[in-house]
Structure 1
């Protein structure tokens, strides 16, 4: 299963990379990954038209998109848009960070899973 990671290099520049989480056949249950460690579950709803500008992640965490879309630009200039079902692992807790905003003016619902 593919997920996206946002990370910072040693000079503080944030980048995207794509990760492939291996899934193993679990018979009639489908395919599953090995367990991934998380600390807690945070439910979040962003208001319509949100624009958070440049910031670093408050902690390393998975973000699972449930509803709405988010446009995230990393400091190296690359921008990606994520919608329902997308999983983003945010690890740029230092450096220049990333900017996130609503590309369509609508609210967003997501799960945050700190690691």
Structure 2
């Protein structure tokens, strides 16, 4: 079966941010390709962030983040770091706790798309 990988950032019971992988199953949609089930979403937000932004913060909402260009390094509150490139999808669920840090990998404005949940 086909699946779509999304990296999840969440807060554990101690408030530490952690990484996890989620694989959303895809079903054969015929000539249009493989599709996931529909997600109920609330808002869609375009974002551009300066390369100097580098601070610990929590996610303001439970949201998907789709990187449109550049790259980002996410650091959890425990010090684990992972790098993500344009086209990758993150599920940010650390809306409380100690938060995470995001850092541009290139000295350029980074564009992304936020899709929030209810």
Report the TM-score, using the length of structure 2 for normalisation. Answer: 0.92
Q: Provide the residue aligned with 2:87 in structure 1.
A: 85
CA RMSD of aligned residues (A): 0.9
Give the one of 17, 27, 30 matched to 2:20: 17
Gaps of 5+ in 1: none
Q: Provide the residue aligned with 2:46 in structure 1.
A: 43
- Whether contact under 8 Å (1:62, 1:87) holds in the other structure is yes
* Correspondence 1:48-87 to 2 at 5 A: 48-51=51-54, 53-87=55-89
Of residues 100-109 and 9-18 in structure 1, the stretch that sits farther from structure 2 once superposed is 100-109
How far the C-alpha of 1:103 sits from its partner, in A, is: 2.1
TM superposition outliers: structure 1 runs of 4+ over 6 Å: none
Report the TM-score, using the length of structure 1 for normalisation. Answer: 0.95
